[in-house]
């Protein structure tokens, strides 16, 4: 039996995905037969992404109903598809009567080991690209996925410290439930302010819908888990 989903709430995704069992991968195109060495399974099909993003857009429209303009500050690279779809859904709901949407982009590089370790204490984050002229703006920060949280925390801190914003809210598509986070990571994730969250996902390597695994699979319209051994051995 398929899982009954309330799209107006944060959706918890199991190890087996939203279908509750391993889906028939033949339904999701020929890439699986060609790349079985890299791909495990689809955990969030396209239909669920669309419905949850629609619900997030409805919530955002309610919160910004008296706002004339929103700056969607998108964290590169992974959040660009999510931000685009979210912006279009906001327009689909309120049309030209709603807030004017402007897109800006921010990019951060996280230095440290490329492979995440469960007890990793921290990583250094450097901002490579950030928008200008955000003073007095209502900023909605868009992130694809929160793993350990270092990148999002530093970006939030930087925007609040250096920009005289009218407001700052954060919208995240996916948040990982980590199996063995270090004390530092637990404390950091507890400090993170996430105003809008799409899905909670298990502690697996994922790709699709703008998110990459070694630059693979960003273009896919769904979210899948990848075979971690393949990418570990590739390093």
**Residues designated as active site:** 147
CB 226 within 8 A of CB 215: no
Length of the chain: 235
């Amino acid at each position: 039996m398929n899982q009954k989903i309330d799209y107006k709430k944060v959706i918890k995704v199991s190890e087996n995905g939203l279908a509750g069992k391993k889906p028939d991968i033949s339904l999701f195109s020929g890439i699986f037969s060609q790349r079985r060495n890299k791909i495990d399974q689809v955990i969030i099909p396209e239909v669920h992404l669309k419905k949850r993003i629609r619900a997030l857009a409805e919530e955002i429209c309610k919160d910004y109903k008296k706002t004339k303009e929103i700056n969607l500050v998108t964290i590169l690279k992974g959040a660009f598809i999510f931000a685009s779809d979210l912006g279009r859904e906001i327009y689909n709901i309120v049309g030209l009567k709603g807030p004017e949407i402007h897109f800006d982009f921010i990019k951060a590089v996280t230095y440290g080991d490329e492979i995440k370790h469960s007890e990793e204490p921290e990583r250094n984050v450097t901002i490579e690209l950030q928008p200008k002229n955000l003073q007095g703006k209502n900023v909605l920060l868009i992130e694809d996925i929160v793993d350990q949280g270092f990148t999002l925390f530093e970006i939030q801190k930087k925007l609040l410290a250096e920009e005289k914003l009218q407001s700052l809210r954060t919208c995240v598509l996916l948040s990982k439930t980590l199996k063995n986070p270090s004390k530092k990571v637990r404390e950091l994730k507890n400090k993170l302010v996430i105003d809008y969250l799409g899905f909670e996902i298990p502690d697996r390597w994922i790709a699709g819908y703008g998110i990459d695994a070694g630059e693979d699979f960003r273009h896919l319209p769904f979210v899948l888990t990848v075979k971690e051994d393949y990418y570990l051995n590739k390093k």
